[in-house]
Structure 1
Amino acid sequence: MAIVKVTQDLIETSLRAIDWPAQDAKTDNDIAREIATNPDAAPILSAAQTAAAITRLIRQRLGITQTEFAARYQIPIGTLRDWEQNRKQPDAPAMAYLRVIAREPEIVARALIPA
């Protein structure tokens, strides 16, 4: 695998090479068709699917089970399972909490230990 150093000049050159009027003229159907025919394109996820993926990713990055995650961060296990299995979507405060856990998992866990 080759490593490419991304420089400001490289970014600017790449942006100048884009046909912006052609990009702006694309419809949602055009974009969906391009995504569908590109084997390297990631699928477009709904907000609920994105939340489920984020929740799983945070827990997996920490290397702990659902039960351990739920206990450590005081989230009901059923709620966590619903989020991860895309049965329910975390509301805005829950997503904010998950973002804090993602950035500072040890601090959050420590803050939740009963005094």
Structure 2
Amino acid sequence: MKTHRVTIDVSAPNSFPQGRFDADRVDATKEADIARHIAEDEAEAAQDAARYTRKVRKRLGLTQQELAERINVSLDTIRNWEQGKRVPTGAAKALFKILDRSPETALAALQ
């Protein structure tokens, strides 16, 4: 990779190097496109959270029912998290991080 040094004169904004984006394409983006992209990003984040939740449960060697009982939530909640219909937030999200990093300690504290 080649390195280029660029000197920028802050008093002349027109002298700034051009970025790597297509200004015409950005200007042509409609609100509906932005909303669709946001929805796609949120759906992907929900699926990432679902995979993480499922991975943690499987590493613990627990069924959905056993995990629900251990962390005192309903079985439907666990299912919704693992299917990406809902995303763990707040304390539940923190609990999964602890279960992932220190499962023995977390499970012992929950008993």
- TM-score, normalised to structure 1, is 0.57
Aligned AA for 1:65? T
How far off is 1:18 after superposition? 8.1
| Counterpart selection for 2:64 from 63, 66, 69 | 66
The answer to whether the 8 A contact 1:73-1:108 is kept is no
Q: Which runs of 5+ in 2 are unaligned?
A: 4-18, 23-40
Aligned to 1:40: none
Deviation string for 1:4-35 (max 9, x for gaps)? Answer: xxxxxxxxxxxxx488xxxx7267xxxxxxxx
Aligned to 1:108: 106
Aligned AA for 1:71? E
Q: How many residues align?
A: 79
- Map 1:1-115 to 2 at 5 A: 17=1, 25=20, 46-113=44-111
Identity %: 38
Aligned AA for 1:83? W
Alignment CA distance shift 1:25-1:107 (3 Å): same
Larger Rg: 2
Deviation string for 1:72-104 (max 9, x for gaps)? Answer: 222321111100011111113321111011111
- TM-score, normalised to structure 2, is 0.58
Write the distance in 1 (CA, Å) between the matches of 2:103 and 2:51.
17
